[in-house]
Amino acid sequence: MTTETNIASLASLEYIPYINDNGQLPEQLQGEIGVYAIFDQEKILHFVGYSRDVYLSLKQHLVRQPQHCYWVKAQTIERPNRTVLENIEHTWIAENGSVPAGNAQNKDKWTQPINVKVLMTREEQTNYDNPTNDEIAQTKIIKNVARRVEAEIIAILEVRGLQTQIRFNPKLKENGLLDLK
């Protein structure tokens, strides 16, 4: 835990496996308020964020960007304080020497629900755009696209050995969005 005057350098923190040998996310971060840095397999920084529950945020990032979530570093604090959290975030980004893509041009991919409409296959797009389709038919097509993308994400995470349960919010699927419940 830290206070505003005690910001650990990113380099001084230990790498924590995103998915441990038991297929679990870093449970020590469950319910913890803090700042976290996410790295790919080669330990290249892709995103720095802060959260009132680091564990839940890491889970969201894993389904949104599984190809970049292999290692994490985190610093926790006792009480929520946006100024302290932002100071740590800015310090780490400055220490990195450049703004990670996840904090710049790719920020939406890290922080927003997955928009499955942009992931439609040509066939799905053709069916969706069919002028004979009404709104109900289009919603059904979007839900099926969301289910396909969800299955692809879960398959990727199963290959990585994830045992933590992943549940997507079913109400968002009809809007073409995937986000954890």
The answer to whether the CB of 145 falls within 8 A of the CB of 118 is: no
Q: Looking at domain 10-111, which of 1.10.3720.10, 3.40.1440.10, 3.40.50.300, 3.40.710.10 is its CATH number?
A: 3.40.1440.10
pLDDT band of residue 181 (cuts 50, 70, 90) is confident
Query: pLDDT-derived band of residue 76, with 50, 70 and 90 as boundaries?
Result: very high
Domain boundaries, the chain: 10-111, 114-178
pLDDT tops 70 at residue 59:
yes
Band (3; pLDDT cuts 50, 70, 90): very low
Average pLDDT taken over every residue of the chain = 94
Stated pTM of the model: 0.92
| Of the candidates 56, 55, 36, the residue with the CA atom closest to the CA atom of residue 46 | 36
Each residue's pLDDT tens digit, 105-155: 999 999 999 999 999 999 999 999 999 989 999 999 999 999 999 999 999
Residue 94: strand pairing partners: none
